[in-house]
Structure 1
Amino acid sequence: MTEIRTPRLLLRRWDDDDLVPMADINADPRVMHWVDDGAVHDLDHTAEAIERWEEEWDEEGFGLFAVELLASGELAGFTGLYVPDFLPEVGPAVAIGWRLGQQFWGQGYASEAAQATLEFALQDRGLDHVISISRAGDTASENVIRKLGMVLERETTHPVHGHPLRVHAIDLTEYQA
């Protein structure tokens, strides 16, 4: 089983106990504001998403990690790698993404988890190019992206929802662990 420990977090595969806390995160309009069309997701949608994330682990050798706080064992959300099929113009590509419950915002958890995931992508999985996709105006995500050392590669539009997106990237040659 793939796990990564950081000073405050455990990044791990998903288990059954993660469904309800992740569904609570996905049901929060503030959390979902910058995701797709901004709609919240219910328990069934979250269960289907976790199943897809686990399938991606099996098919690709990477995926979205459940992010657990080491101090309390609480599920904070996810971070990890995914193939951004919804945006074919960037393909073939692997993207890094994250989503944390609002009670975990502003404490550096997203940056800590994303940095560990980027190291995993470049060093463990041998990827030489990783992107991150954010909605224009999502300053919190842009701050995490900047901390990862990613640079703006292109601006585009979401093909389904029509809002502006920003695609940032980093190459292994630019990466400083």
Structure 2
Amino acid sequence: MSVFSPALLSEAGALLESLRQRGLKLATAESCTGGLIAGLLTEIAGSSDVVERGFIVYSNEAKMDLLGVPAHLIDLHGAVSEACARAMAEGALENSKADIAVSVTGIAGPGGGSPEKPVGLVHFGCASRRGPTAHRRFVFENANRAEVRLRAVVAALDLIEAQIGTASTRLA
């Protein structure tokens, strides 16, 4: 029995098949999701031909050490920012053999939020070797910690699919 719903597993399986058909490998760079994206994808048998590696970079130091996110960027914009999400995705590409990388950084709560950066704020990046880095920002309002994290996983899958869908001719 999986910890993930059948619907989410089905969506992840379809994404893996899309990546497989394009001959693409994926890396993840996860902060607030703590490895849930990679965990979901690797729940599916045979995913090792697509999932190249995953980085769990919960601390700022891990973001800098493992992904090369510049300290000044975190100091200027914060770890939960568009700039950091983009740098995380690009760093995951640089530090892997993947063709595409997704990143997620956010405030899952229940604490840690502010008026400028509320609980539920999540930034996503999706970088590819042959195209521009995409970014999305969501605020998952009225959601508990588990819901924010799970919604972030779904949003990350959607972002990867959008990135390979719009860039499929560049990435194929």
TM-score by length of 1: 0.29
Q: Which has the higher contact order (CA 8 A, sep 6+)?
A: 2
TM-score by length of 2: 0.30
